[in-house]
């Protein structure tokens, strides 16, 4: 959603709120002004939340990470409007709406901060996982490209065994495996420059290197 559309929608909602606040007759008591001020604060905070959600999170994945914040925002807005409607017509001591609105604001802010921290942490883990698993995907792609070039059936069988070994390898990586993984990747890429007789000899060595990597992955996890 474009920024202008979000701003227009927020302005329309704000105008409707003020029509309800000042056109419908009521006594403008201290309770009224307290809930009105807290409602304005709610509009400012939620306006920022909604603009951030719809404008600065262009992808579906980005919106998914922030959906919990939007959920808290909607609850906060609805409850604050409900409090405003109640205290617009119900007159009572000023401390009652003050305490209720302040507790609601505190709850919303704590929720925003807590969920924002959690979603950022989950996103960082997800990004880290994506970065680590891309190695196996790249390795498998290189092997599949080699398969397209070979003609001999025995060579195809060897390359296919290499592809299967890569496909069923541990998808996660680790910094301690970087040297070994780099050697494996270079060895797989080098197969493209070999004739098929040498390729058949080299593939079992690469498979042994992959097995060694997978064993080290298992040890790291344990």
Read off the pTM: 0.58
Asked whether the beta carbons of 72 and 115 are under 8 A apart, the reply is yes
Please, are residues 115 and 69 in contact by the beta-carbon 8 Å criterion? yes
* Percent of all residues in the chain with a pLDDT value above 70, rounded to a whole number: 85
| Mean pLDDT of the 79-106 span | 92
Distance (Å, whole) CA 199 – CA 191: 6
Return the minimum-mean-pLDDT range out of 1-15, 19-33, 187-201: 1-15
Q: What is the pLDDT of residue 115?
A: 80
Q: Burial, 49: exposed, middle or buried (Cβ in 10 Å; 0-12, 13-18, 19+)?
A: buried
Share of the chain above pLDDT 90, in %: 23
- Considering only 50-54, 85-89, 141-145, 188-192, which range has the smallest mean pLDDT? 50-54
Residue 35: count other Cβ atoms within 10 Å of its Cβ. 26
Between helix 3-22 and helix 30-55 the angle, nearest 10°, is 170
Q: Which residues 6+ apart lie within 8 Å of 35 measured at CB?
A: 80, 83, 84, 86, 87, 88, 97, 101
The more confidently predicted of residues 105 and 63 is 105
| Strands in 7-108 per DSSP E | none
Going 208 to 210 to 216 to 218, the CA torsion angle's sign is negative
As a whole number, the mean pLDDT across the chain is: 83
For the stretch 12-27, pLDDT in tens is 888 988 888 888 888 8
Residue 71: pLDDT above 60?
A: yes
């Amino acid at each position: 959603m474009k920024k202008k559309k979000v701003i227009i929608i927020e302005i329309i909602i704000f105008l409707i709120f003020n029509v309800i606040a000042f056109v419908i007759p009521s006594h403008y008591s201290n309770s009224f002004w307290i809930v009105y001020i807290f409602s304005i604060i709610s509009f400012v905070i939620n306006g920022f939340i909604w603009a951030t959600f719809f404008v600065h999170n262009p992808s579906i994945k980005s919106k998914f990470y922030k959906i919990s914040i939007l959920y808290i925002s909607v609850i906060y807005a609805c409850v604050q409007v409900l409090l405003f409607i109640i205290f617009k017509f119900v007159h009572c001591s000023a401390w009652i709406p003050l305490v209720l609105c302040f507790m609601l604001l505190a709850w919303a802010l704590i929720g925003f901060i807590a969920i924002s921290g959690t979603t950022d942490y989950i996103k960082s883990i997800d990004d880290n996982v994506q970065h680590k698993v891309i190695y196996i995907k790249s390795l498998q792609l290189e092997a599949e490209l080699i398969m397209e070039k070979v003609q001999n059936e025995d060579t195809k069988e060897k390359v296919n065994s290499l592809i299967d070994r890569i496909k069923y390898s541990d998808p996660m990586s680790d910094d301690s495996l970087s040297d070994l993984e780099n050697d494996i990747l270079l060895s797989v890429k080098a197969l493209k420059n070999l004739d098929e007789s040498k390729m058949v000899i080299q593939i079992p060595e690469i498979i042994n290197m992959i097995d060694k990597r997978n064993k080290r992955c298992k040890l790291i996890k344990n």
